[in-house]
Amino acid sequence: MSIQARGAFPAFGQHLKVVRQRNLKPVATIVEARVRSFYNPLNGQLEAAGFDNNETVLRRDQLRRTRALERKVRDIKLNMPEAMTVANRR
């Protein structure tokens, strides 16, 4: 996210903490936190010019990005030797 939207990135961690309390599924939690990060905390306005300042378009894009990341992590885990995963649990 820091590459996609540097201005939104600093708020992401705080939004993630708040959204996690809603007990959503992991992907939904991340998407919601990402979307909230594009809102200006001073005026409450959506600042996502690359998405025509349209929350629906932004949300769709953030869902796509989050799912792509989820697939990549899953692929890495599937291709990781068992010895590495056991060693990392210690």
The domain spans of the chain are: 9-65
Lowest mean pLDDT among 18-27, 60-69, 73-82: 73-82
As given in the structure block, the two tokens for residue 75 are 């692929």
Model confidence at 76, in pLDDT bands (50, 70, 90)? Answer: confident
Residue 53 pLDDT greater than 80, yes or no: yes
Please name the residues in contact with 15: beta carbons below 8 A apart, sequence gap of 6 or more: 32, 33, 34, 36, 37
Write down the pTM of the prediction.
0.70
Measure the CA–CA gap between 57 and 55, rounded to whole angstroms: 5
